[in-house]
Each structure stands twice: as structure tokens, then as C-alpha cells.
Structure 1
Amino acid sequence: MAGNQKFPSDLLFVVGLVILTDIFVLTPVLNESFIRTVLGLPMILFLPGYSLVSLLFPTKNTLEGIERAALSVGTSVAIVPLMGLVLNNTSFGIREIPLLVSLSVLIVLVCAAAYVRRKQFPEEKAFEISFKASARNMLIEIMGKPESTTEKALRVIMAVSILALAGSIAYVALLPHEQEPFTEFYILGSDGTAENYTTEYVQGESGTVIIGIINHEHSTVDYTMDVRLENKSLPLPETLKHIQLEDNMTLEKPLEITPTVKGNNMELQFLLFNETEKNVPYRDLHLWINVAGEA
């Protein structure tokens, strides 16, 4: 009978994984564990697509197990970049916490909608998962007796590919890899997004950009920043001229740019120097601006 099903175990499992991932990402001690990576991979590569596939295909016999899994991965790969594109056009920008929260809310809401859709069908027709049966059926689909030698070869190749993928994910997740040291250096518009930069100025008037620096050098670094218009340095506050950041520390501060000369298509340079090289910029960014004469 439609409308009397309990909350499906697969959707409950998905919501549980989302909550668990949020805990391991947001909790200071737990977010240093490899479990964060193990949980983060399905959060990005599987769960968004699975919840949407569950909403679109609420009944049995519409998709085979492997088809449902493959479509879930493919849909996730499409959803996550779109989510990043949306966030990039907001004040949040593409950052870990906003992306995590957005994905979590999306997955939970879509799972709730999928549950509502399944309730519209009789229990014997609504899709459900018995985890033991699903694993057994998937093995049967992959390794079951094929109709031809070609089909058998394809099934073996598929099985080997799945095992290789699982092994690669486990290797990346479990084996500690130290990233190459680097520094993120970026500028944002006054609204906090990577667009809407002020490029039209009036001489003597100011425009604002947001300076961002993230230290991934595995140690504390003393940075020096210089902002130049047509290769001439502009005045900077001391807090942006000399910057000390600990490892994994982020600095984001607004900077007022006040051009003193007028001209068209002038190069505005943002130069970041590290403590080992004072003459050659470690990172550099550019904007091209126009400055009109005083009104």
C-alpha cells in the first residue's frame, strides 16, 4: 500500500554519511584524521548524484544496480561544479565550509523529496535496498555467466576496473601524502567574489579590492606585499605590507586603491614576496585599470 513505508534504509544511510562527514570536517580534532578524506570522497563523488537519482527513479526495475551507481557518480560530477559556480557568484565564494554546507543541505533535501516520491508507490514497487542483497546482485551482474566470450571478457574487465578504482581511492585516502609547499594569493572584488573588480577610477578617488593569502608552506612565513601602478609603488597599510602567517592560516583584508595618475589600460600589480627572495615576486597578480582626470 502506498504511503505507509518507513524511511528507506538507503536514504537514511546517505543522510547519516552526510552528518558524519560534517562532523569530521567541522570538528577541530577530527578534521585532521584520514577519516575526513575517506568520508569526503563519497560526499563529493557519489552522495549528491545518488540522492538525485533516487528522486528521479523512485521505483524498482527502472535501473540496474550498476547503472544506478554509475549514474550517481556521473551526476555527482556534474552537480558539484555547478554548486561551486553558484557559490562563486555569492558573497561566500568557493570555500570549503560553504561548499560542505551547501552540499549537505542539498543532499538532505533531495533525500527527503525522494522519500516523498517513493511513498506515492506501493511498497512492492518502490525502490529499496537490502545492502547484503545489493552486494550479491552486483557481483552476479559483474561475474554472472555471460552469453558469450566477449561479454565474459567485458565483465572481467569491469570487475578489475572497479577493484583498481577502489584500491586507488584507498591508497590516496589511507597513505599520508605531504603536499608540496605553496601559497595561495588572490584578489576579490569588493563584494567578496572573484569578479566585479573596480577597473574604472577617477584620479584621487578610491576603489576597494580584497587581498587574500593562504599559507600552505608547512611553516610560518613572513611575507612582504607591494602594490604598483605602472611600476610605481602605492602606499599600503603596515598590516598588508608586512604579513606573518602560520601554516594553514588565511588572511583576507580589504585594500583601498587610490590612483594618483590618470591614464588608460594601466597595469595595477599585486606582488607578494616571501622571506627567502626579496627581489623576485613569489606570487603576482594583475588588473588593468583606467583612471580619468578629476571631475
Structure 2
Amino acid sequence: MIRSPVRPHVRRLPADLTVVLALTVLTNVVVFAPVIRETPLRVAFGLVFILVAPGYALVALVFPERGPVDRFDDVNGEMRSPTTILERPRSWWGTIDGPERIAFSIASSAVIAPVVGFIVVTVQGSFQFGPTFVAVSAVTVALTVGAIWRRLALSPDDRFRVPYGEWTDTLRAAVFDPNSRGSAILNVALVCTILLVIASVGYAATALPQDDEYSTIYVLSEGDADSVLEIPPGESREVVVGVDNRERRATTYTVVVVEQEMDVSENETRVVDQRELDRFESTTDHGETWRLAHDIEPTADGEVRIVWLLYVDGDAPEEPSIESAAYRVHLWVEEGDS
């Protein structure tokens, strides 16, 4: 039976949902704080939050009651009788136990995050990590507040609590009790599998470069159709190159401009000779664009292309190459009319 959630004896916040709120706040601090966001903690906290918190809050909202296998009293650890269990009120959609709650939480998170992201992209017209993460956090907080209200509306005996005693008994049965070892092992294996998946994805996300941290370089000059730069013989041409910083930190860039003489055959394109024309360096804040305007004057004839090599954090070598650059863009040179 649903009761008023404002009585004095039910005002204590559920510990698990308090943890969800604390995790939401802490993760946002780790993800957006200027210094902490540059550490691996950003990926670790963000991944755990996205995979667990939204779904757990939703499951807690839908299923505020104890599950059918909550056989132990969390206060004194005593076994409740089957009659007590059967007499407890049930929501019309039923209840779930611990392993199901964990599995549903992760599955629900896998749905909530993309749906919220799709809505944000639809409203803004493009994907941006910051607004999307804040939106997922806001949804998580709203679901958690609703879950707290629903759980506190129940009598103390009917509310879901994290069944530490149940989990301990399940683990003990899996190891020592031959009669219940089969089902207990399945429950433990399910939880271990879920934790292994989280750990594996977390390791991969921490070890590999993140898609939302990148830089781009491109030519801004107009009139260069089909990647061709028209320059009359003996003359120069001003070219504007743009560098976008999406590294989520202030970054020092070095752009090295090289001229390459090319051997173009039927099946391959080969660099015959290369010379450096110029190099530039600038420090750009996250979200900003560095516009580099400079003159290009080719020194070679034949098949020639100009390549802009972008190095991140100012680590440009004395002898730059396409292989050593983080990003690059090029234009072919074609003799135009004087």
C-alpha cells in the first residue's frame, strides 16, 4: 500500500539512491573540472556512471519494493517466514531480485543514454559531449528523486534495500552448500560477468584514444575546387588554413608547410622530393579555431602538392613527414593564368 512519504520515520534517504546522486555529482566534477578532466579518472567515472546510474535510477523508480527472494531481514539478519513474504503488498507489475535488478539497470542505461543523446542532437543540430552528458545527468537526478519518493512512500518493511545479507548468503551457498549451489553459482556468475564487461569496456575506453578528443585541420580559402590550388608561374597565393581544437584542453599546435614533388603513375602516387616552406606555432583553447593566413609560392615544376602537417603539443620534428604528423591536409598545385 502506498503511504504518505512525509512522515518522520520515513525521511531517511535510501543509501543506494544517495550513492547514485553522489556519483552523479562526483562524475560531473571529474568530467568537467579543468585539471581532473585531463586524467584517466574522467573516462573511468564517466563510463561507470553512463553504464549504471541512469538505468539503476529507472529500475529503482519502477520497482521500489523488495524482490521475491529477499528472504533475510536487513536489520537483524533473521530469516522471514514464507507467509510474511507472501503477505507483502505487490505492485501490479511485480518485483525483481538482486541479479535481475543489476542486469535491468545496465540494460536500461544502454537505452537511456542513446535516447537522451538523440534528443539533444535533434534540438541542437549536432552532437556535443558536454550538453549530452549534462542532459543524461539531469535525467538521472530526476529519476533518482522519483525513486526516492516512491520508495519512502512504502512501509519500512516493504522497501527495497541493498540485500548485503542475501548476497553474502548466496556467495556462501555457492561455496559451501551443495543443495543450493547450482542456482547460487548462476547468480554469482551473472554478477561477475557484468562486472567483467564493465571492467573490459572501461579498460578499452581508458587505453584507447577517445573519439570526442581530437583536432582538425582544413583549408579555408575559397575557389580551390577539387583540391587544386591555382598559382600563376612566379607568383604567390595567400591560403588560409583552419585548425579546430577539440582536445578539451589548451593545446599548442605546430603547422609545418611542405612542398612535395610527386611521381604519379597509373597505380600509385609517390613522393620524389620534399622541402619545407614554412612552419607556424600557436596555442589554442578548447573549442577555438586557429586561422593561419600565409603565402604559398611553389619552387618546383611538374606534379606538385602543398601539404600542411599538423603536430599536437608542439612536437614537430626537424624533418617532418606525413607519417609523423597527427593530422594533415593537402592541395595540388596547378599553374593558373597570370
TM-score, length of structure 2 as denominator length: 0.52
Please, which of 183, 197, 201 is the counterpart of residue 165 of structure 1? 197
1:179 aligns with 2:185: no
Aligned to 1:200: none
Deviation per residue, 1:161-196 (Å, 9 max, x gap): 3464365356457xx636399955599xxxxxxxxx
Aligned to 2:298: none
Deviation per residue, 1:6-62 (Å, 9 max, x gap): 311111110001111111112111112322222111211010000011111111121
Find the aligned partners of 1:16 and 1:83 in 2 and give their Cα distance. Answer: 21
Find the aligned partners of 1:65 and 1:144 in 2 and give their Cα distance. Answer: 21
Find the aligned partners of 1:212 and 1:161 in 2 and give their Cα distance. Answer: 43
1:121 aligns with 2:121: no
Inter-CA distance 98–180: structure 2 relative to 1 (3 Å threshold): closer
1:9 aligns with 2:15: yes
1:136 aligns with 2:168: yes
**Structure 2 unmatched ranges of 5 or more:** 68-94, 219-241, 258-278, 291-306, 311-319, 331-338
Where do residues 207-226 of structure 1 align in structure 2 (5 Å cutoff)? 213-214=244-245, 220-222=253-255
**Structure 1 unmatched ranges of 5 or more:** 188-210, 225-241, 254-271, 285-295
Aligned to 2:46: 40
Identity of aligned residues (%): 24
Find the aligned partners of 2:48 and 2:282 in 1 and give their Cα distance. Answer: 32
Q: Offset at 1:246?
A: 5.1
Inter-CA distance 158–122: structure 2 relative to 1 (3 Å threshold): closer
Find the aligned partners of 1:180 and 1:105 in 2 and give their Cα distance. Answer: 23
Q: Give the aligned length.
A: 222
Q: Offset at 1:99?
A: 1.6
The secondary structure found in structure 1 opposite 2:19 is helix
Q: Is the 8 A contact 1:83 1:99 kept in 2?
A: yes
Find the aligned partners of 1:123 and 1:215 in 2 and give their Cα distance. Answer: 50
Find the aligned partners of 2:246 and 2:309 in 1 and give their Cα distance. Answer: 11
Q: Is the 8 A contact 2:173 2:181 kept in 1?
A: no
Aligned to 1:205: none
Q: Is the 8 A contact 2:99 2:191 kept in 1?
A: no
Q: Is the 8 A contact 1:50 1:72 kept in 2?
A: yes
The secondary structure found in structure 1 opposite 2:244 is strand
Aligned to 2:96: 63
Inter-CA distance 81–129: structure 2 relative to 1 (3 Å threshold): same
Output the amino acid matched with 1:15: L
Q: Is the 8 A contact 2:308 2:329 kept in 1?
A: yes
Where do residues 279-294 of structure 1 align in structure 2 (5 Å cutoff)? 282=328
Q: Is the 8 A contact 2:99 2:187 kept in 1?
A: no
Please, which of 287, 296, 317 is the counterpart of residue 250 of structure 1? 287
The secondary structure found in structure 2 opposite 1:220 is strand
Inter-CA distance 13–101: structure 2 relative to 1 (3 Å threshold): same
Aligned to 2:77: none
Deviation per residue, 1:219-262 (Å, 9 max, x gap): 624399xxxxxxxxxxxxxxxxx997758843469xxxxxxxxx
Output the amino acid matched with 1:70: A
TM-score, length of structure 1 as denominator length: 0.58
Q: Is the 8 A contact 1:55 1:113 kept in 2?
A: yes
Q: CA RMSD in A?
A: 4.3
More divergent stretch after superposition (33-42 vs 154-163)? 154-163
Output the amino acid matched with 2:37: N
Find the aligned partners of 2:162 and 2:180 in 1 and give their Cα distance. Answer: 30
Inter-CA distance 113–151: structure 2 relative to 1 (3 Å threshold): closer
Find the aligned partners of 1:180 and 1:129 in 2 and give their Cα distance. Answer: 34
Find the aligned partners of 1:148 and 1:136 in 2 and give their Cα distance. Answer: 14
Aligned to 2:137: 104
Q: Is the 8 A contact 1:24 1:36 kept in 2?
A: yes
